[in-house]
Amino acid sequence: MAIIIDGKQISADIRAEVAVEVEKMKTDHGLTPGLAVVLVGEDPASQVYVRNKESACHEVGFNSFKYELPADTTQEKLMQLVDELNCRDDVHGILVQLPLPKHLDSSLVLLAIDPNKDVDGFHPVNVGRLAVGQATLPPCTPAGCVELLKRSGAELEGANAVIVGRSNIVGKPAALLLLSENCTVTIAHSKTKDLPGVCRAADILVAAVGIPKMITGDMVGEGATVIDVGINRTAEGLVGDVDFEAASQKARAITPVPGGVGPMTIAMLMKNTLKAAQMR
Ligand code: GUN
């Protein structure tokens, strides 16, 4: 049986580590990191995410600034708010909750955020920094995957890492992060030939496709570490991209869904906000 990687516990550990650093920053420099979260409209899921981010801020000792704008907010108004937040000295991180209402262009909004305050790591400048190996604010979910790997005792150097899925917010940045950890990286996707064979050869298997239980037991190599980024709502409840029961017979260690990657995103957001404040 595989080790179950406890994302809830690891997330709590990271938030506690951030809280210690924040305390130091306050006493040594009189500086409190601040995160601004912008929510446009009333999407209930987004409201929950934003509330969770706010309470994580309070837990680690950050200032939290919440902006709730009506669903009919204009592009101009939103850009104006981002500009204001870019200029503020007490705001070190800016997060615009996605998805935005359809009439708004999210790529223009993300471009407007100061890259040094882009705690989501979505700005093309930060994506570029990641690609060329410069210091950056990495996207939270893939950075969380790397933390789970490291803290579960996976050997990264020289490991065969296979990422299934090539999205801009998980698959691609996960590949770049694992490359910088000296993994041999393969990005597999829907057009990959012999996907089961490619997956079976992985020491580290990251599933980020959004298809329930797509990674079956026969696609997992003996002793692999499996990170399941999928969160799929099905009739049987929340299900990952990996068939957990079957995969855990083969894997050395595996993340559950829920309670694996999910809780890590907020922890990494806290880490990025601290880093943004330290960079200044
Ligand atoms: N919506 C769902 N996840 C995220 C995230 O990580 N960042 C932002 N900005 N919006 C999201």
Q: Is the CB of residue 225 below 6 angstroms from any atom belonging to ligand 1? A: no
pTM (2 d.p.): 0.97
Q: What is the pLDDT of residues 19-70, one digit of tens each?
A: 999 999 999 999 999 999 999 999 999 999 999 999 999 999 999 999 999 9
Tell me the C-alpha distance between 41 and 244, whole Å. Answer: 36
**Is 53 designated active site?**
yes
Ligand 1 pocket test: which of 43, 51, 120, 126 has the largest number of ligand atoms within 8 Å of its C-beta? 120
Inter-residue contact 88 to 245 (CB < 8 Å): no
Judge if the beta carbon of residue 116 lies within 6 A of ligand 1: no
Hey, what CATH topology would domain 140-263 get?
Rossmann fold (3.40.50)
Q: List, by residue range, all CATH 3.40.50.10860 domains of the chain.
A: 30-114
pLDDT attached to residue 237: 95
Which CATH homologous superfamily contains domain 30-114?
Leucine Dehydrogenase, chain A, domain 1 (3.40.50.10860)
Separation between Cα atoms, residue 221 and residue 252, nearest integer Å = 9
Q: Report the residue count for the chain.
A: 280
Catalytic residue among 6, 118, 120, 241: 120
pLDDT at residue 214, as a whole number = 98
| CA dist., res. 164 & res. 9, Å (int) | 25
Whether 9 is catalytic is no
Atom of ligand 1 nearest to the CA of 46: 1
Ligand 1 binding pocket mutation candidate from 97, 109, 118 (most atoms within 8 A of CB): 97
Q: How confident is the model at residue 200 (pLDDT cuts 50, 70, 90)?
A: very high
Per-residue DSSP letters for 57-90?
HHHHT-EEEEEEE-TT--HHHHHHHHHHHHH-TT
Confidence band for 101, pLDDT divided at 50, 70 and 90: very high
Q: What is the pLDDT of residues 225-235, one digit of tens each?
A: 999 999 999 99
118 DSSP assignment: B
Nearest CA to ligand 1 atom 11: 98
Q: What's the pLDDT at 232?
A: 97
Structure tokens at 275: 């880093």
Q: Which of 53, 213, 271, 275 is catalytic?
A: 53
Cis peptide before 212 (omega within 30 of 0): no
11 lines ligand 1 (CB under 6 A): no
* H or E segment to which residue 279 belongs: helix 264-279
Q: Provide the CA 64 distance to its chain's centre, in angstroms.
A: 19
265 CB less than 6 Å from ligand 1?
yes
Q: Whose CA is closest to 167, among 192, 148, 141?
A: 141
Residue ranges of the chain assigned to CATH 3.40.50.720: 140-263
| Alpha carbon of 97 to ligand 1 centroid (Å) | 5
Q: Which of 181, 182, 221, 189 is nearest to 205 (CA)?
A: 221
